[in-house]
Amino acid sequence: MTQWPDLANLDPELVARYDKRGPRYTSYPTAPHFSPEVDLEELEQRIRGTSTVSEGEVLPVSVYVHVPYCRRKCLYCGCHSVAICSENQPSEYLDVVLAELALWHKQLGPGRRAAQLALGGGSPATLEAEGLTRLVRALDEAFVPLDDAERSIELDPYRTDESLLDCLLDVGFTKLSFGIQDFEPDVLNKVGRHEDPTTVERLLGHLRGRGFDTVSFDLMVGLPGQTDETWARTLDRVLELGPSRLAIFPYAHVPWMMPHQKALERYEMPDSDQRLGFYAMAHRILGESGYVPVGIDHFAKADDELIVAAREHRLHRNFMGYTTRPGLDLVGLGVSAISDLGAAYAQNLKDTEVYRERVEARHLALERGILLDAEDELRRAVIMSLLCNFWVDLDASARRFGLDWRTAFAEDLERLQPLVDDGLVERDGLGEEAGYRLTITTVGLAFVRLVCMIFDRYLDHAAGPETKQRYSRTL
Ligand code: SF4
């Protein structure tokens, strides 16, 4: 597997030079480039024209459902979520999602099966056991799950109880993802969470008692109050609890988009050096305990399916993180949900009321999107390979789209040269065409998002990093 660098001892000059803002590339083009000006009719036509059959088989889909409600708003939250204001809100919202599901089912035609189902938000658990059961049953009817379909759900463990877990297992969830962020009481208090520290252990004990062990933890680095000592204690606690997977995300401080985050500015926040130190510690401590890094921000136990997929170059990155099923059409249901199919991205309306009105008028609730041309698809393939495999064959990628790599990437390769000179990327390949294969070096693994940015044609490369202010820090 990939050997990561000692992140705590990177050359400080290198860190200073590449400490920039940039996208996280859960899609390409990234969501800020989806436009309300997109031709929605063309978008819907592309959705209808999505290739449903390959080699005689109907292609399965991946379905994501966004539930925007939470019991309270966490100060670091970067998701499209709102604090619940009446107990009926989630179930009324569910009625609209089910109506939207029927519209999508009609658009895509019969026979599409589900390879993946993911519920996220917000907190899907606000639908409670009854709503979740209703939702899963309706989804199963519309998109009959494959025998080996994955079903995952994001959970706020502190707003989850044993009876809800029982319901999730009974309706066939295969992966539960706990939004932990940190175990340190002081850190949690600062971000607006006041939790009982015994909760996670109790819930895991219950799941394991039922023979279920596929639980993933989401952690976050860069929160106020985090120090080397607190982070070490959090990692120790993680090891005691032993989740099957972990994702460690950098806190994205973007108060111009998420005004509630301003409340955190009264605290000192870890800088890029400290964040790298936290990642370094995570790599060391988790590695010593048998966890293997996957992609830029995930870890899994050595026998996990993600590790196998990484080894076989089957990893895929999307809005839910890394997954093992590449190339699926993604149908997004619910406010702000993003669909990815038919060489197009389409994002739903973010305003719940307008979303409801649109669905009740029997229209898909699309608000913005982007139609991909061949160059977008090529660049998406390049960026995806860099994020999932840490290498890309530019020649093979360009040829798939009938292009010559030297012409297609002439400007990109010029922009890439300083990163090659700094030892972040190696260029090789055979014969006269040498240079078409890019490999991220061990040191370069700390800067993968910056390498991806080189190939992003929507960024203003001539402008300084200040103009990329709308993005979060890459380190
Ligand atoms: S529970 Fe998750 S989605 Fe809800 S406010 Fe907190 S971080 Fe955001």
pLDDT one-digit tens code per residue, 101-110: 999 999 888 8
Q: Measured in angstroms, how far is the CA atom of residue 155 from the centroid of ligand 1?
A: 9
Q: What is the pLDDT of residue 473?
A: 65
Indicate the range of 47-56, 253-262, 388-397 predicted with least confidence.
47-56
Region 373-401: mean pLDDT is: 94
Q: Are strands 425-428 and 437-440 parallel, antiparallel or unpaired?
A: antiparallel
Q: Answer yes or no: are the C-beta atoms of 391 and 440 closer than 8 Å.
A: yes
Q: What is the pLDDT of residue 43?
A: 86
Would you list the domain boundaries of the chain?
30-333, 374-473
E-strand ranges in 156-214 read 175-181
Indicate the range of 281-290, 305-314, 342-351, 444-453 predicted with least confidence.
305-314
Of 71 and 48, the structure prediction assigns the larger pLDDT to 71
Angle at 2 between CA 178 and CA 20, to 5 degrees: 70
Q: What is the pLDDT of residue 157?
A: 94
Q: pTM of the full predicted structure?
A: 0.92
Q: Answer yes or no: are the C-beta atoms of 51 and 329 closer than 8 Å.
A: no
DSSP element (H, E) containing 156: none
350 CB-side CA count, 13 A: 8
Q: What is the pLDDT of residue 48?
A: 77
Q: Measured in angstroms, how far is the CA atom of residue 290 from the centroid of ligand 1?
A: 30
Of 425 and 460, the structure prediction assigns the larger pLDDT to 425
Q: Is the CB–ligand 1 distance for residue 70 below 6 Å?
A: yes
Q: Is the CB–ligand 1 distance for residue 80 below 6 Å?
A: no
Indicate the range of 215-229, 273-287, 345-359 predicted with least confidence.
273-287
Q: Is the CB–ligand 1 distance for residue 79 below 6 Å?
A: yes
User: pLDDT at residue 138 above 90?
Assistant: yes
Q: Is the CB–ligand 1 distance for residue 445 below 6 Å?
A: no
Question: Which residue owns the Cα nearest ligand 1 atom 7?
Answer: 77
Q: Measured in angstroms, how far is the CA atom of residue 199 from the centroid of ligand 1?
A: 17
Asked if CATH classification 1.10.10.920 holds for the domain at 374-473, the reply, yes or no, is yes
DSSP assignment of 378-439 equals: HHHHHHHHHHHHSEEEHHHHHHHTT--HHHHTHHHHHHHHHHHHTTSEEEE-SGGGTT-EEE
Q: What is the pLDDT of residue 272?
A: 82
Q: Answer yes or no: are the C-beta atoms of 114 and 149 closer than 8 Å.
A: yes
Which of 155-192 are b and which e, b meaning 16 or more Cβ less than 10 Å from the residue's Cβ? bbbbbbeeebbebbbebebbbbbbbbbbbbeebbebbe
Q: Is the CB–ligand 1 distance for residue 154 below 6 Å?
A: no
pLDDT tens sequence across 399-449? 999 999 999 999 999 999 999 999 999 998 655 567 789 999 998 998 999
Q: What is the pLDDT of residue 111?
A: 85
User: pLDDT at residue 470 above 70?
Assistant: no
Per-residue pLDDT band at 57 (split at 50, 70, 90) = confident
Q: What is the pLDDT of residue 15?
A: 83
Residue 159 DSSP symbol = G
Choice from 65, 77, 258 to test ligand 1 binding pocket (greatest atom count within 8 A of CB):
77
Q: Is the CB–ligand 1 distance for residue 74 below 6 Å?
A: yes
Q: Is the CB–ligand 1 distance for residue 122 below 6 Å?
A: yes
| Residue bearing tokens 């000059």 | 13
Q: Measured in angstroms, how far is the CA atom of residue 81 from the centroid of ligand 1?
A: 7
Q: What mean pLDDT is reported for the chain?
A: 90
Of 233 and 71, the structure prediction assigns the larger pLDDT to 233
Q: Is the CB–ligand 1 distance for residue 68 below 6 Å?
A: no
Residue 282 DSSP symbol = H
CA–CA separation, 49 and 231 (whole Å): 49
82 CB-side CA count, 13 A: 11
User: pLDDT at residue 21 above 70?
Assistant: yes
Region 21-30: mean pLDDT is: 89
Per-residue pLDDT band at 53 (split at 50, 70, 90) = low
User: pLDDT at residue 5 above 80?
Assistant: no
Q: Answer yes or no: are the C-beta atoms of 224 and 187 closer than 8 Å.
A: yes
Per-residue pLDDT band at 65 (split at 50, 70, 90) = very high
Q: Give me the sign of the Cα torsion angle 414, 418, 423, 425.
A: negative
Question: What percent of the chain has pLDDT above 90?
Answer: 67
Q: What is the pLDDT of residue 466?
A: 44
What tokens appear for 334 in the block? Answer: 């619910």
Q: Measured in angstroms, how far is the CA atom of residue 450 from the centroid of ligand 1?
A: 28
Q: Are strands 391-393 and 437-440 parallel, antiparallel or unpaired?
A: antiparallel
Q: Is the CB–ligand 1 distance for residue 81 below 6 Å?
A: yes
Q: Measured in angstroms, how far is the CA atom of residue 121 from the centroid of ligand 1?
A: 7
Indicate the range of 1-10, 19-28, 184-193 predicted with least confidence.
1-10
Q: What is the pLDDT of residue 85?
A: 87
CATH H-level superfamily of 30-333: Aldolase class I (3.20.20.70)
What are the C-alpha distances in Å from 259 to residues 99, 252, 254, 256, 366? Answer: 32, 12, 8, 6, 25
Q: Is the CB–ligand 1 distance for residue 156 below 6 Å?
A: yes
CA–CA separation, 448 and 335 (whole Å): 31
What are the C-alpha distances in Å from 306 to residues 86, 140, 300? Answer: 39, 25, 7
Q: What is the pLDDT of residue 7?
A: 74
User: pLDDT at residue 2 above 90?
Assistant: no
Q: Is the CB–ligand 1 distance for residue 224 below 6 Å?
A: no
Domains 30-333 and 374-473 share a fold: no
Ligand 1 atom nearest the C-alpha of 81 is 3
Q: What is the pLDDT of residue 346?
A: 95
pLDDT tens sequence across 204-236? 999 999 999 999 999 999 999 999 999 999 999
Choice from 65, 71, 72, 74 to test ligand 1 binding pocket (greatest atom count within 8 A of CB):
74
Q: Is the CB–ligand 1 distance for residue 182 below 6 Å?
A: no
What tokens appear for 118 in the block? Answer: 């993911």
Other Cβ atoms closer than 10 A to 280: 19
Q: Map residue 82 onto helix, strand or coil.
A: strand
